[in-house]
Amino acid sequence: MPASSSSNHGPHTFSEILSQPDIWRACFRRLNENSAIEEMRGKTAARKSWLFTGCGTSYYLAEAAAACWTLLTGQKARAVPSSEILLFPQLEHLSDPGLQAVVISRSGTTSEAIRAAEILGKKYKTSTLGITCSPQSELATTCQMTIAIPDADEKSMVMTRSFSSMLLTILLLAAETAGNKDIPVVLEGVAGGLASRIGTWNGKIEEFVAERSFEDYIYLAQGPFFPIAREGALKVTEMSHSYAQAYHTLEFRHGPKSIVAPQNCIAFLLSESGMTAESEVLVEMKQLGGTIIAICNRASETVRKASDLVLELESSSPEIGLLAPFVVPTQLLGYHTGLKKGFNPDEPKNLTRVVILD
Ligand code: F1P
């Protein structure tokens, strides 16, 4: 991997983004060696509906996990920010029999996540599963069960490989629950596909950022890709102190498109299921004068002509395997934008690695 000219700033964040294919493989190996997925499948086999929760990046991870869970298992699954379990538990049907709660936290110490796990387990007698990069954390001692993937932890404040690796871990558990034996092989292939493209993607994004300056960043996606769009918006905000927002792609027509202009970057995370409808929005926004990034598996000629930057994975994976690699370009966009604006992505402005409440 050629060291980018930017790798001497924010070194942790940059290397952690680029390490994702290898870290995914390391996590797969460790989970396979300790049979963590098979064991967890056995412990949760009786659960009939799933509630995923976390904060910040881990909340968007929870949203993506809930979508993947339903797609793979057919079971009901939903995601809420941990704060909602603290403040509005009556909205979340926490007494549902057969409910399995999954509390996601890289650090395992975020106060809202810990308190949510305590409320779920003690007050609502719900089964709690912790997903974390910190095996010795308070989350691990608070939840009844835990899957830890320490290989994916970061030195950087910003969550990048921890997000994608914990998502892939939950995908493996969903596949095991569904009796789907193909997904583990698919995800190994996705890691290989990303490894062969991540250097090219990094160069294209670095050049794209160097040639332009934006006032606002819009991320558009549908279905299980929408939480990835939300995470992408958070990355560019955290790493470059930029305004950013995410919408469902077709929702963007219903008012928000009024902000389309050359100085606003619009990143489309294109699904395969909704490609035709989503591509029509992309073409319309180009016609309105927007600057367009297309993140997709394979770009049609229409998408290629209407986009200012096209990033293709060209994978044979089913659509659900594309979520984790699709977050990588959004991480690189945030990183290079942060460098260009003079920030250090390893230590974002105003932020701390963990939010601990009194
Ligand atoms: C959750 C989180 C991160 C955010 C920042 C503050 O951390 O909100 O998503 O980027 O680091 O903490 P965690 O509960 O996953 O450790």
C-alpha 159/C-alpha 190 separation (Å) is 20
Q: From ligand 1's centre to the CA of 105, what distance in Å?
A: 7
Under the banding of pLDDT at 50, 70 and 90, the label for residue 5 is: very low
CATH of 186-340, picked from 3.40.50.10490, 1.10.486.10, 3.10.20.30, 3.20.20.140, is 3.40.50.10490
Residue whose CA is at the smallest distance from ligand 1 atom 11? 353
Q: Of the ranges 28-42, 114-128, 131-145, 341-355, which one carries the lowest mean pLDDT score?
A: 341-355
Q: Where are the alpha helices (DSSP H) in the chain?
A: 11-18, 20-33, 36-43, 57-73, 82-87, 111-118, 138-142, 161-178, 183-211, 226-240, 275-287, 301-306, 323-340
Q: Is the pLDDT of residue 151 over 50?
A: yes
Ligand 1 atom having least distance to the Cα of 353: 11
Q: pLDDT digits over 305-337, tens only?
A: 999 999 999 999 999 999 999 999 999 999 999
52's enclosing H/E stretch is: strand 49-54
| Pair 149, 30: CB distance under 8 Å | yes
CA dihedral 31, 65, 279, 208 (to 10 degrees): -60
Sheet holding 309-312, edge to edge: 243-248, 216-221, 264-269, 291-296, 309-312
Q: Residues 278-299: what's their mean pLDDT?
A: 98
Q: Residues 210-225: what's their mean pLDDT?
A: 98
Q: Which residues line ligand 1 (CB under 6 A)?
A: 54-58, 105-107, 110, 113, 157, 159, 351, 353-355
Q: From ligand 1's centre to the CA of 59, what distance in Å?
A: 9
Mean pLDDT of the chain: 96
Ligand 1 atom having least distance to the Cα of 57: 9
Residue whose CA is at the smallest distance from ligand 1 atom 6? 354
CATH code for the domain defined by 34-181? 3.40.50.10490
- Region(s) of the chain under CATH 3.40.50.10490: 34-181, 186-340
What does pTM read for this prediction?
0.96
